[in-house]
Amino acid sequence: MACRGATMVALLLAAVAATCARAQLHDKFYSESCPSVEDVVRKEMVRALSLAPSLAGPLLRMHFHDCFVRGCDGSVLLDSANKTAEKDAQPNQTLRGFGFVERVKAAVEKACPDTVSCADILALIARDAVWLSKGPFWTVPLGRRDGSVSISNETDALPPPTSNFTVLTQLFAAVNLDAKDLVVLSAGHTIGTSHCFSFSDRLYNFTGMENPSDIDPSLEPQYMMRLKSKCASLNDNTTLVEMDPGSFKTFDTDYFKLVSKRRGLFHSDGALLTDPFTRAYVQRHATGAFMDEFFADFAASMIKMGNANPLTGSQGEIRKKCNVVNH
């Protein structure tokens, strides 16, 4: 089984290699300038996740949020004195792990000063977050450079958890991702947690009536009641709920089982059942019989997303610290 899975991954990754090459990204980018970069990143990841395994989901999410806005350029990491950067925008208010990224960057800088971009470090962190959660491993094409612009209102490009299928496909298409990438990458929700306010409209305010009976009819009733027992009202801004109850620290196909039973946490999860192609994909992988296939698909889609409009060559810079541009 493992060999067959590795073959699937190799074939699918070869299919996206040409695209990465056009963008000057390749897996041997630091082979001479910083050959130890992946070992340095992984050492920090192993240490962090052994202490806080729930950090894997947020770190994966951070890479997503970086790539959907201005491409994968590390702009989500930048601070702003007047709170107008991407990380200050509402969709990014719940991101976690910024301090950890700085710690990894410092370790990489110690090994290879002024060489590896924060954007590349985010891509490596995301891969290791998945792999260390028992998910697939893939070779990350590298060579991104860091941007110097981060604007809060540009986070409109991020797919909201309240999105329907049409909105989701439009936002994914904007970064050259298709319907297959949408359903595959949505399964990143198999690890991590979410705040109640990201989905509580499905429980109390689905049509704008703001009362306990104003529920999303597409949500499975028993699951809805379980969520209501955790999220007491629309005003709950602190409670965290597992996105994949029972295995939220393990990267697996249980996400598809939940979505197929109308137990996807977000409206965007449920939206996958409204399109024939994505519904068929969900139902196929809900069986749990095609884990290798899904792992290969996820690896390929992550590489494709990681190739979203990167800065390369002489573009951008290599930040010394991820939260500030160089001076």
Q: Does 66 belong to an annotated binding site?
A: yes
3 state DSSP class of 288 = coil
The token duo for 207 is 């049509």
Per-block mean pLDDT, blocks of 10 residues, the chain (327 long): 53 49 80 98 98 96 98 97 95 95 98 98 98 98 98 96 97 97 98 95 90 91 96 91 94 98 97 98 97 98 96 97 95
Long-range contacts at 208-211 (CB < 8 A, ≥ 24 apart): 210/234
Is the alpha carbon torsion for 144, 146, 147, 152 positive or negative?
positive
Q: How far is CA 18 from CA 21, 24, 169, 222, 303, in A?
A: 5, 10, 24, 47, 11
Q: Does 69 belong to an annotated binding site?
A: yes
Q: Does 128 belong to an annotated binding site?
A: no
- Which amino acid would we find at residue 268? S
Query: What pLDDT is stored for residue 301 in this prediction?
Result: 98
- Which amino acid would we find at residue 172? F
DSSP state of 92: G
Q: Does 149 belong to an annotated binding site?
A: no
Find the length of the chain. 327
**Which residues are marked as active site?**
65
pTM above 0.75, yes or no: yes
Measure the CA–CA gap between 165 and 196, rounded to whole angstroms.
Answer: 21
Which residue carries 């024939």 as its tokens? 276
Query: What pLDDT is stored for residue 17 in this prediction?
Result: 46
- Which amino acid would we find at residue 73? D
Q: Does 327 belong to an annotated binding site?
A: no
Measure the CA–CA gap between 285 and 57, rounded to whole angstroms.
Answer: 20
Closest CA to 117 of 315, 327, 254: 315
| Rg (the chain; Cα; Å) | 19
